[in-house]
Amino acid sequence: MATQARAAICNGNSEPFKIEDVELAELRPDELRIRVVACGICHTDMAVRDQQLPVPLPVVLGHEGAGIVEEVGDAVTSAKVGDRVIMSFNSCGHCPSCEIEAPTYCYNFFPHNWSGGRPDGSATVLKNGDKMNANFFGQSSFATHAIAHDRNVVKVPDKAKDLPLERLAPVGCGLMTGAGAVLNSMKVRAGLPVAVVGVGTVGMAAIMAAKIAGADPIIAVDMNETRLEMAKELGATHTFNAKDDAMGKIKDLLPQGLGYAFDTTGINKVIQDLFGLLAPMGIVGMVGASDPADMLKFNESEFMGGGRRVMGILGGDSDLQHFLPQLIEYHMNGQFPFDKLIGYFPFEDINEAFEASESGKVVKPVLRISEEA
């Protein structure tokens, strides 16, 4: 029997999200039905709402869901009925990237995450019997129930049984992206300097991870003083306001240059300036959404002669089944106190939650969708 659910429907940026009745399709063998307890809001949800990403509308968004498994298909191994799980992005499992446990670069990322349905075009969510675009990041968790897949569900380890799911929800995207960029992609070395430009969720996660890695100094750059204060609480040793010649200040502080620069802004000039501040073998890691027309320009001899690297990074190179439990462990040890970033909203206030993120009032809004117990 099909499952009834309530889902927030996105019709683009000219209308608010509306919570409406929908139905979930029958599960396939590799799928799970999750009762969603909470879901974080990420900038990629906004990018789709604003149609900067080609996901078809109207659509059920939400890709930082956490919840409890209600039903599993025969081939599922990641979790069983009753398990507490986090959902993340989906991947195909058989392309050259998935073969080497690098699913964030899945060759088939689009059909598995952004096509509005399963890769074969079928619907995971229906409205009045018709296909509703969903299966966003293999979940669509701005809803009371979601269909997820064996590859994008991670069971919360039993030792984390006392951590509420509503706190763990954002681990599945923003937090893993920032922390993974530092720990997995750039592999930041202890004792080397790191600068993080833009301290939203991804930048804050990068700051906490840089501290875990033993980087020193750890420089945070942003235009928002409150966020810079928070970055200091989470591990930044220096904070520079972007309005106030931050690049010049980094240069004065570190005449030998930066070991690592992490850009979350996607602004062409910022990335080029950061490249100019790199020490030999330094890396600029890029995760910000860029203007599709932008081109970067670097000095060739500084690039080649100094062994410098410019690295595009997706999802912090997260291999979900290993990295998400590791992040939860860091959190339990007090080394990844991401709860300081979260502001909670009832599901019905989804539009206020989006506004709070866009105005900068809340770093990571999380929607409370159902009671955990």
Residues in contact with Zn ion by CB under 5 A are: 42, 44, 173
Beta bridge partners of 263: 197, 286
Q: Which is nearer to ligand CXF, 35 or 112 (CB)?
A: 112
Q: Which is nearer to ligand CXF, 3 or 318 (CB)?
A: 318
Nearest to 134 by CA among 83, 80, 167, 87: 87
Choose from Zn ion, ligand CXF, none: what does 345 bind? Cβ within 5-8 Å by kind. Answer: none
Q: Which is nearer to Zn ion, 114 or 240 (CB)?
A: 114
Choose from ligand CXF, Zn ion, none: what does 140 bind? Cβ within 5-8 Å by kind. Answer: none
Question: Alpha-carbon distance 150 to 28, whole Å?
Answer: 10
Q: Which residues bind ligand CXF (CB under 6 A)?
A: 42, 44, 89, 104, 173, 177, 314-315
Choose from ligand CXF, Zn ion, none: what does 124 bind? Cβ within 5-8 Å by kind. Answer: none
- What is the SS3 assignment for 322? helix
Q: Which is nearer to ligand CXF, 177 or 326 (CB)?
A: 177
Is the Cβ–Cβ distance between 38 and 71 less than 8 Å? Answer: no
Choose from ligand CXF, Zn ion, none: what does 5 bind? Cβ within 5-8 Å by kind. Answer: none
Choose from ligand CXF, Zn ion, none: what does 275 bind? Cβ within 5-8 Å by kind. Answer: none
Q: Which is nearer to ligand CXF, 89 or 345 (CB)?
A: 89
List CB contacts of 146: < 8 A, sequence separation 6 or more: 24, 33, 34, 36, 62, 65, 67, 87, 139, 140
- The overall longest dimension of the chain from CA atoms, in Å, is 66
Q: What does the DSSP 8-state code read for residue 133?
A: B
Q: Least distance (Å) from ligand CXF to the CB of residue 110?
A: 11
Q: In this chain, which residue has its C-beta nearest to ligand CXF? A: 315
Question: Alpha-carbon distance 41 to 44, whole Å?
Answer: 8
Is the Cβ–Cβ distance between 143 and 20 less than 8 Å? Answer: no
Choose from Zn ion, ligand CXF, none: what does 350 bind? Cβ within 5-8 Å by kind. Answer: none
Q: Least distance (Å) from ligand CXF to the CB of residue 176?
A: 8
- What is the SS3 assignment for 170? helix
Is the Cβ–Cβ distance between 279 and 251 less than 8 Å? Answer: no
Q: Which is nearer to ligand CXF, 48 or 250 (CB)?
A: 48
Q: Least distance (Å) from ligand CXF to the CB of residue 292?
A: 16
Beta bridge partners of 197: 221, 263
Beta strand 84-87 with 153-155 is antiparallel
Q: Least distance (Å) from ligand CXF to the CB of residue 306?
A: 29
Q: Least distance (Å) from ligand CXF to the CB of residue 63?
A: 7
